[in-house]
């Protein structure tokens, strides 16, 4: 089973699949029976088609084809006169004209034969595909169907027999007999359940096999539609339009087959779980008392009412209903699927054709009373009495009549459950507000909503329960009145299937009308046959994707039920296309119809739909359809019987990109960096990616576009990419023809698209020329390229939350508390154009920022400054131009230097981004141009100075030189933000991180009167410096400040020179190391290892050499008598122990204590004697050790010989007497012991 999915991509990746078909099969619901029966009708129709096709080919086509061939030959022979007729003086060109006619007849006949082959196709391949379908899918399905029919018939028979047991007043039914019948029914039901699940799996396999068969047949027919010109090797495709959609279908089928294999184990596990759960639930009671109908106490049939309810009580299942049929009337019992849900009671039943689900009217539980019928003619029966006369909205003709229904449960447990559910529902209603919608619903009567789904059974009770009223609608008549004006369709069972309809979780004969009925359904509060024909009878409300805040609040629920005065519940705007209407209906019927607590469907219009394979991991892929609105991306997965609904908020997604490693893979990234991979089919992935990215950016915009504008933009995207695709195909075909004919086409004769050059759009050329003109006027231009869209880069630098300004100003104090940016506001320029203007406040630092890596942050005599920035021109996603009002800088002995800065952010001009350029959509590249203009001006007039002094020229060059430092600050800031933004979703992340370009109300922005005056002053100062420049400069350097800067720069240069010298030395050694490193690394490693080994070996040899040398010297000295030392070994016994043990035998010996207290100088008298004794003792011990070793060697030799003989015997027995060896464990243990002893003895010898 599944969970609700509406969170991030990580949660979507962990979703679980649900199997609606398996669930309905386990319940044996009417939806399940209708779906399998309808599928059987399709299989029978397909078999009839095969039979008709085979008969046509065998009986009609063969003869007609032979006749056609003969006619064709006669026609070819009659096209031109015979070459024989033309010969012998009948034509002037006697040598070549007859030969021309003869050659033409031969070649034309060959051409016609090729055309016939294309028409006929490959019969063997066609037959092979059909045979594979028959043996691989149809026959297994038919076997499963036969098994299903057998157990269904057997189960229905036993159920009818079990329920038809009639107790009488004289004869009591034996409880044991009822128990045995229930047990037998249980065993048959288990087999029926297994057969039902097997049939569902076989249906899924056959559906996929049908896709594979159709694709193979079309491929066979298509393969013959290529004409091969033998003379020049050219291959001409006569039906190229087929490839445009056939290739995607072929890839989809191939991927679907691979994906189906990965789901086989999941299907088996799902079947096993459902069987286990269902068997436990439907197992009969083992208590014999439960089958004794005479001892049933009506007072104990209703279970205890719970103290509180989390949701309304509900129940559904099969019950037998007592009714009458025919004339004269006869009593019968029929099965009906009854339900109590949302405080209403109703029934579902199979249509007379058993291919779709019908419904009766629905009745509020407040109108219903139930009682157990203890003395009825059947067991476990109860009466449901509907007091229709008390209904508050009953508009039927017989509204004053009450309705009595006799129902029969299967056993005592079911009887108790049904009686309790009505009691609990009433208890639940007593806890509700009496003005609430649900409470009022419980006292109303609801006729079938659509007559097409109303019960058409002719039994008396069914007719009473299904009486229509004034609100019952004729669905097919509404559809015929103009659903889609541009679609020439007739709404009937045959032609409606030609519409492009999505596959629903369950399919019955009336599924497509049920989907279309949502045009006229205002809510999904009541269970209905419409939902039963789409989702089944199970309440899937827990899997709804509608969040609580989207549902109707309680104060709205208190209103009266809205009547259907207007037949159309969904109102589409005039700009909404017919195709989108159909898609939107399907979208809402799939995602919202299962939520049965809705009074109105969410007002989200479908904008885009695409199909693909969702890849949660490397091993699994699932076919899914995605529906996109302006708020969400809804994912509908329905593959091999498994269904899943997912929802992603566009606000949680930051980027949608095409995978560079795969041409048809789309990757959806969220804020955390997680991504969702989707392989897109049946649509241009470039169109899908561009459309989704546009919707994401629109969602993040401050003023998102309306749905009409969105649809128009999406249409333009599709048109532009179609034109690009046509150009690509044309270029590819021209290149192919040129290559096949080996023609050399000169470059000047080809269109621009074939050359190195490409056409820039008019707007792009104008913007490029505009930027070039500015570059000519300004003193210097710095340019940098970035892998981010121009719009995102603009937000990085000029967003409300960005810290780029004033940090990027060279003369700004970076950590000042006075640094701040104001919001943008609208102003009119002198020519009447609207500009976006903002002010940037910052504290000036005149000294420290000239030195690199200076962090002192001293405060100079300058205080604060204000810079006004104006956004003068914006072309969305293409071009952003921001002017910075001129600033005056005063240097010693110089006239004022005017500094003007312009920022231009633009997209690079690339033919790959031609469509994006036309549509003004963002790309992944941008260029930043910072233009500086430095010129000296007259202080009073503000006019440029024509002649400058050498000192002024020097200072201007100095300023020009240090302007690059400011550009470096820009690059650092942009790099910082790009690292934080990451590789994906750069536009949305830049907007979220750096803020929008907020436009504030002037009154709010200006605030106080003083601030307004200051704004006015700054504005005047920026517009016309000449009028308000009498007493101050923006930035002024005194002689003292200038001297400090020059001294620090000189000192900095000197220290820098020293550091450069040090760096040169370091670089020299580094280059030397790199030069060595450039040598073959293997050779260098080998040399190092060789050196270390040689050093080690030389050390070894040196030690050995000098050791031998020293030994020889000692030996020679000993022989020559030079060495007078004698080496002796002495073994001594501790003196104290000797005296303790030999002299004094008592512990407390006073004489010995006195002896030990003697002067230590007298101890030497024993030294020589004891030394001699020790040497003698050593000699004796050595001799003793030699004797001991001799004895051990003698014994070891005999023992080793014995062990070897025993081991040899063990090996002989293990190889030649295997039985004895395997049975005698003692012998094995003995042999193992011998081996262990031999190993131990060998170690001792070593």
| pLDDT tier for residue 10 given thresholds of 50, 70 and 90 | low
Nearest-CA neighbor of 842 among 869, 871, 821, 856? 821
| pLDDT tier for residue 203 given thresholds of 50, 70 and 90 | very high
Strand ranges, E, within 342-413: 344-350, 357-359, 362-364, 368-373, 381-386, 403-408
Pairwise CA distance, residues 644 & 649, whole Å? 17
Q: Write the DSSP symbol of residue 91.
A: S
Res 1162: pLDDT: 56
* Most confident of the ranges 164-178, 207-221, 1017-1031, 1176-1190: 207-221
Residue 13 has pLDDT above 70, yes or no: no
More confident residue, 711 or 1203: 711
Res 752: pLDDT: 43
Res 858: pLDDT: 47
Nearest-CA neighbor of 622 among 590, 599, 646? 646
pLDDT tens-digit series, residues 37-71: 999 999 999 888 888 888 877 777 777 777 877 88
Res 1101: pLDDT: 65
| Ranges 563-567, 847-851, 1020-1024, 1237-1241: which has the least confidence | 563-567
pLDDT tens-digit series, residues 682-733: 888 889 999 998 898 888 887 888 889 999 999 988 888 888 888 777 776 6
Res 1198: pLDDT: 78
Question: Cβ distance 148 to 198 under 8 Å?
Answer: yes
Nearest-CA neighbor of 782 among 533, 969, 588? 969
- Name the one residue in this structure whose structure tokens are 């286990």: 276
Query: What mean pLDDT comes out for the span 1150-1171?
Result: 62
| pLDDT tier for residue 1244 given thresholds of 50, 70 and 90 | low
| pLDDT tier for residue 1057 given thresholds of 50, 70 and 90 | confident
Res 1121: pLDDT: 59
Nearest-CA neighbor of 992 among 652, 549, 751? 652
What's the pTM value of the predicted model, to 2 decimals? 0.73
| pLDDT tier for residue 864 given thresholds of 50, 70 and 90 | confident
| pLDDT tier for residue 156 given thresholds of 50, 70 and 90 | very high
Res 1178: pLDDT: 78
Res 35: pLDDT: 95
More confident residue, 813 or 16: 813
| Ranges 311-320, 489-498, 760-769: which has the least confidence | 489-498
Nearest-CA neighbor of 877 among 722, 720, 690, 709? 690
* Most confident of the ranges 141-150, 175-184, 239-248, 798-807: 141-150
Task: Report DSSP letters for 839-857, one per residue.
Answer: EEEEEB-SSGGGSTT----
| pLDDT tier for residue 149 given thresholds of 50, 70 and 90 | very high
Which sign, positive or negative, has the C-alpha torsion 1075, 1080, 1083, 1089?
A: positive
More confident residue, 872 or 1: 872
More confident residue, 452 or 597: 452
Query: What mean pLDDT comes out for the span 284-299?
Result: 85
Pairwise CA distance, residues 432 & 554, whole Å? 11
| pLDDT tier for residue 946 given thresholds of 50, 70 and 90 | confident
Residue 1017 has pLDDT above 50, yes or no: no
Question: Cβ distance 407 to 418 under 8 Å?
Answer: yes
Other beta carbons within 10 angstroms of residue 719's beta carbon come to 14
Residue 754 has pLDDT above 60, yes or no: no
Question: Cβ distance 866 to 884 under 8 Å?
Answer: no
Residue 559 has pLDDT above 60, yes or no: no
Residue 357 has pLDDT above 90, yes or no: yes
Res 199: pLDDT: 94
Cα separation values, 1102 from 380, 1087, 1113, Å: 109, 22, 16
| pLDDT tier for residue 1179 given thresholds of 50, 70 and 90 | confident
Average pLDDT, the chain: 78
Res 3: pLDDT: 39
Instruction: Look at phi and psi of residue 342 and say left if phi exceeds 0, alpha if psi is from -120 to 50, else beta.
Output: left
Chain centroid to CA 794: 30
Res 824: pLDDT: 85
- Backbone φ and ψ for 679, nearest 5 degrees, come out as -90, 115
Res 496: pLDDT: 43
Query: What mean pLDDT comes out for the span 1027-1049?
Result: 66
Res 882: pLDDT: 92
Res 6: pLDDT: 42
Which tokens hold the place of 593? 């119809």
Res 1120: pLDDT: 65
Other beta carbons within 10 angstroms of residue 1087's beta carbon come to 12
Question: Cβ distance 915 to 727 under 8 Å?
Answer: no
Torsion of CA 143, 148, 150, 154, to 10 degrees: 170
Res 1025: pLDDT: 41
Share of the chain above pLDDT 70, in %: 78
Res 532: pLDDT: 92
Res 1019: pLDDT: 44
Query: What mean pLDDT comes out for the span 492-504?
Result: 57
Residue 787 has pLDDT above 80, yes or no: yes
Which tokens hold the place of 992? 């979220």
pLDDT tens-digit series, residues 438-474: 888 888 888 898 888 999 998 999 999 988 887 888 8
Pairwise CA distance, residues 714 & 393, whole Å? 47
Share of the chain above pLDDT 90, in %: 18
Pairwise CA distance, residues 365 & 382, whole Å? 16
Other beta carbons within 10 angstroms of residue 48's beta carbon come to 10
Res 957: pLDDT: 87
């Amino acid at each position: 089973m599944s969970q609700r999915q509406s969170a991030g991509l990580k949660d979507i990746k962990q979703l679980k699949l649900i199997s609606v078909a398996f669930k309905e099969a386990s319940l044996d619901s009417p939806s399940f029976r209708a779906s399998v029966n309808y599928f059987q009708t399709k299989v029978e129709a397909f078999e009839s088609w095969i039979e008709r096709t085979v008969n046509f080919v065998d009986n009609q086509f063969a003869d007609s084809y032979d006749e056609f061939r003969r006619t064709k030959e006669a026609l070819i022979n009659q096209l031109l006169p015979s070459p024989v007729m033309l010969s012998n003086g009948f034509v002037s060109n006697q040598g070549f004209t007859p030969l021309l006619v003869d050659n033409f007849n031969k070649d034309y006949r060959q051409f016609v034969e090729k055309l016939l082959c294309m028409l006929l196709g490959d019969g063997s391949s066609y037959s092979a595909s059909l045979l594979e379908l028959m043996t691989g899918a149809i026959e297994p399905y038919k076997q499963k169907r036969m098994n299903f029919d057998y157990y269904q018939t057997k189960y229905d028979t036993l159920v009818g027999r079990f329920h038809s047991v009639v107790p009488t007043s004289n004869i009591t039914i034996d409880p044991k007999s009822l128990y045995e019948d229930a047990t037998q029914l249980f065993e048959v039901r288990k087999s029926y359940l297994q057969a039902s699940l097997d049939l569902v799996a076989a249906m899924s396999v056959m559906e996929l096999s049908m896709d594979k068969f159709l694709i193979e047949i079309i491929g066979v027919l298509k393969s013959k539609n290529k004409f091969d010109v033998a003379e020049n090797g050219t291959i001409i495709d006569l039906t190229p339009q087929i490839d445009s959609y056939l290739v995607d279908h072929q890839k989809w089928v191939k991927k679907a087959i691979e994906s189906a294999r990965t789901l086989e184990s999941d299907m088996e596990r799902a079947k096993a779980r459902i069987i286990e759960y269902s068997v436990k639930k439907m197992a009969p009671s083992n208590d014999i008392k439960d089958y004794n109908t005479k001892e049933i106490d009506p007072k104990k049939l209703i279970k205890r009412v719970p103290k509180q309810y989390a949701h309304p009580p509900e129940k559904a299942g099969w019950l037998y209903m007592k009714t009458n049929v025919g004339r004269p009337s006869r009593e019968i019992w029929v099965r009906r699927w009854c339900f109590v849900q949302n405080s209403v009671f109703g029934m579902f039943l199979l249509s007379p054709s058993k291919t779709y689900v019908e419904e009766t009217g629905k009745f509020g539980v407040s109108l219903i009373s139930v009682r157990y019928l203890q003395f009825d003619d059947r067991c476990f029966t109860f009466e449901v009495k509907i007091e229709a006369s008390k209904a508050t909205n009953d508009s039927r003709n017989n509204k004053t009549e009450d309705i009595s229904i006799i129902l029969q449960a299967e056993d005592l447990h079911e009887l108790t459950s049904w009686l309790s559910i009505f009691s609990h529902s009433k208890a639940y209603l007593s806890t509700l507000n009496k003005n609430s919608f649900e409470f009022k619903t419980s006292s109303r009567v609801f006729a079938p909503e659509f007559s097409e789904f109303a019960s058409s059974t002719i039994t008396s009770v069914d007719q009473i329960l299904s009486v229509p009223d004034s609100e019952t609608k004729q669905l097919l008549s509404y559809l015929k009145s103009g659903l889609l004006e541009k679609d020439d369709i007739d709404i009937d069972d045959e032609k409606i299937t030609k519409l492009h309809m999505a596959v629903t979780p369950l399919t019955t004969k009336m599924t497509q009308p049920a989907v279309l009925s949502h045009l006229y359904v205002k809510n999904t509060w009541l269970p209905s046959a419409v939902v039963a024909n789409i989702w089944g009878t199970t309440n899937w409300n827990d899997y709804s994707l509608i969040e609580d805040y989207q549902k109707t609040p309680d104060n709205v629920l208190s209103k009266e039920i809205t009547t259907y005065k207007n037949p159309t519940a969904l109102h589409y705007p005039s700009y909404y296309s017919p195709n989108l209407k159909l898609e939107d209906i399907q979208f809402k019927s799939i995602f919202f119809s299962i939520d049965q607590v809705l009074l109105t469907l969410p007002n989200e219009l479908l904008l885009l739909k695409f199909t693909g394979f969702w890849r949660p991991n490397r091993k699994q892929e699932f076919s899914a359809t995605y529906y996109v609105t302006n708020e969400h991306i809804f994912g509908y997965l329905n593959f091999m019987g498994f269904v899943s609904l997912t929802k992603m908020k566009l606000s949680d997604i930051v980027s949608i990109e095409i995978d560079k490693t795969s041409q048809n893979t789309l990757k959806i990234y969220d804020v955390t960096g997680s991504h969702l991979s989707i392989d897109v089919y049946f649509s241009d992935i470039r169109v899908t990616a561009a459309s989704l990215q546009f919707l994401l950016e629109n969602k993040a915009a401050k003023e998102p576009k309306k749905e009409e504008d969105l649809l128009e933009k999406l249409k333009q995207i599709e048109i532009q990419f179609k034109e690009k695709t046509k150009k690509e195909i044309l270029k590819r075909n021209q290149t192919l023809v040129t290559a096949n004919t080996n023609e050399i086409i000169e470059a000047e004769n080809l269109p621009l698209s074939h050359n190195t050059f490409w056409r820039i759009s008019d707007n792009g050329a104008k913007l490029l020329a505009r930027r070039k003109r500015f570059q000519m006027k300004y003193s210097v231009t710095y340019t940098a390229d970035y892998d981010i869209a121009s719009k995102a880069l603009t937000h990085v630098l000029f967003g409300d939350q960005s810290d780029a300004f004033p940090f990027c100003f060279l003369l700004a104090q970076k950590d000042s508390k006075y640094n701040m940016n104001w919001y943008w506001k609208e102003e009119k320029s002198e020519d009447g154009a609207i500009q976006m203007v903002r002010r940037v406040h910052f504290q000036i630092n005149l000294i420290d920022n000239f030195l690199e890596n200076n962090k002192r942050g001293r405060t100079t005599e300058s205080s604060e400054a204000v810079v006004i920035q104006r956004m003068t021109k914006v072309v969305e996603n293409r071009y952003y131009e921001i002017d910075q009002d001129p600033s005056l800088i005063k240097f010693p002995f110089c006239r004022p230097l005017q500094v003007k800065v312009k920022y231009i952010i633009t997209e690079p001009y690339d033919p790959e981004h031609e469509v994006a350029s036309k549509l003004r959509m963002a790309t992944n590249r941008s260029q930043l141009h910072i233009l500086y203009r430095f010129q000296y001006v007259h202080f009073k007039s503000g006019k440029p100075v024509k002649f400058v002094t050498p000192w002024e020229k020097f200072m201007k060059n100095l300023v020009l030189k240090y302007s690059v430092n400011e550009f470096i600050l820009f690059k650092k800031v942009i790099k910082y933000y790009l690292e934080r933004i990451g590789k994906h979703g750069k536009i949305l992340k830049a907007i979220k991180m750096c803020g929008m370009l907020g436009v504030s109300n002037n009154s709010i922005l200006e605030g106080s009167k003083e601030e307004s005056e200051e704004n006015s002053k700054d504005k005047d100062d920026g517009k016309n410096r000449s009028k308000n420049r009498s007493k101050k400069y923006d930035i002024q350097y005194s002689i003292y400040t200038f001297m400090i800067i020059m001294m620090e720069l000189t000192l900095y240069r000197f220290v820098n020179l020293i550091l450069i010298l040090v760096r040169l030395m370091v670089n020299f050694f580094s280059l030397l190391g790199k030069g060595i490193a450039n040598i073959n690394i293997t050779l260098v490693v080998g040399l190092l290892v060789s050196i270390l080994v040689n050093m080690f070996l030389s050390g070894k040899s040196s030690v050995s050499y000098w050791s031998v040398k020293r030994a020889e010297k000692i030996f020679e000295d000993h022989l020559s008598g030079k060495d007078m030392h004698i080496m002796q070994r002495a073994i001594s016994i501790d003196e104290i122990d000797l005296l303790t043990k030999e002299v004094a035998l008592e512990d407390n010996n006073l004489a010995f204590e006195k002896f030990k207290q003697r002067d230590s100088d007298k101890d030497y008298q024993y030294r020589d004697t004891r030394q001699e004794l020790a040497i003698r003792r050593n000699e004796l011990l050595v001799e003793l050790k030699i004797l001991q070793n001799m004895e051990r060697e003698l014994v070891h030799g005999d023992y080793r010989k014995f062990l070897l003989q025993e081991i040899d015997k063990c090996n002989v027995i293990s190889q030649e007497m295997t039985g004895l060896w395997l049975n005698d464990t003692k012998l094995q243990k003995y042999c193992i012991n011998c081996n262990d002893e031999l190993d131990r003895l060998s170690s001792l010898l070593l």
